[in-house]
Amino acid sequence: MKDFPIAVFDSGLGGISVLRELRKHMPQENFLYFGDSANAPYGSRSTEEIRRLTLQCAQQLFAQGCKALVVACNTATSAAITALRERYPEKIIIGIEPALKLAVERHPHGKILVMATEATLREQKFAALMEKYADDCKICKCPCPALVEFVERGELHGARLTACLREELQSSLAPSPDAVVLGCTHFPFLRQAIREVVGDVPELLDGADGTAKETRRRLAEAGLLREGLQGSISIRNSLPSPEILILSERLLHADA
């Protein structure tokens, strides 16, 4: 069982930003990454659709045999983590959520911008998180519906991306935020472009490191950490195209 892979799931390629952190924290593990790019973006879909797609992908991953599932997608976590845990009560399932807690701890009483998909920001899970911290900080929700597709196309720089970022962020940038939470796993790949638009002041934070630590903790608790040799990474995608796998590899090794 220790040699079974850790499955990592996202609506598309964004979860590779989490896979990179997982590998950093647990290089000896075997990982099976699955991106549902054929159905991306999830963020503009209804909660029911996101839940159905997520459960379908999870079923396939569990059927292949994996010792844990990391839902490396804020949108799928918000809409489906409860349903997943109900359906697979005996499995180790870890989700990701916008790193608002971290941002509030690091910038008490500050202004915090949360960039995420429309679905993540409208779900009850985020409302509960926001309510918890609203007294300590000024929190601005910033839906960024168009950004996911830039990453899915491998367009991580350039004038079109900058224009899109300016349009989506401009109404929230004065006064400058103290922190910007990258509340979608696609966004860390756009870190450089986001930095150019938000300026030098805000700290850019995401939830990948916390998710990787939590995964390690859960596996250790269950006695399922793999020991010894360097593990492997296998990447699959619901789009039957070699290009998407090439892009996935590029993102896995990107600097951002």
Interaction site with ligand DGL (CB under 6 A): 10-12, 14, 40-43, 73-75, 117, 120, 148, 184-186
The residue at minimum Cβ distance from ligand DGL is: 43
Q: What is the DSSP string of the chain?
A: -TTSPEEEEESSSTTHHHHHHHHHH-TTS-EEEEE-GGG---TTS-HHHHHHHHHHHHHHHHHH--SEEEE--HHHHHHHHHHHHHH-TTS-EE-----HHHHHHHSTT-EEEEEE-HHHHHSHHHHHHHHHHTTTSEEEEEE-TTHHHHHHHT--SSHHHHHHHHHHHGGG-SSPPSEEEE-STTGGGGHHHHHHHH-SSSEEE-SHHHHHHHHHHHHHHTT----SS---EEEEESS--HHHHHHHHHHHT---
Closer by beta carbon to ligand DGL, 12 or else 226: 12
Closer by beta carbon to ligand DGL, 188 or else 226: 188
CB of 33 to ligand DGL, least distance (A): 13
CA distances from 155 to 21, 23, 71, 95 (A): 22, 24, 24, 26
CB of 42 to ligand DGL, least distance (A): 4
Closer by beta carbon to ligand DGL, 148 or else 197: 148
Task: Considering the candidates 66, 142, 164, 184, report the single residue annotated as catalytic.
Answer: 184
164 is catalytic: no
184 is catalytic: yes
CB of 205 to ligand DGL, least distance (A): 14
Closer by beta carbon to ligand DGL, 185 or else 215: 185
CB of 50 to ligand DGL, least distance (A): 9
Closer by beta carbon to ligand DGL, 103 or else 184: 184
CB of 14 to ligand DGL, least distance (A): 3
Task: Considering the candidates 73, 142, 144, 164, report the single residue annotated as catalytic.
Answer: 73
Active site residues: 73, 184
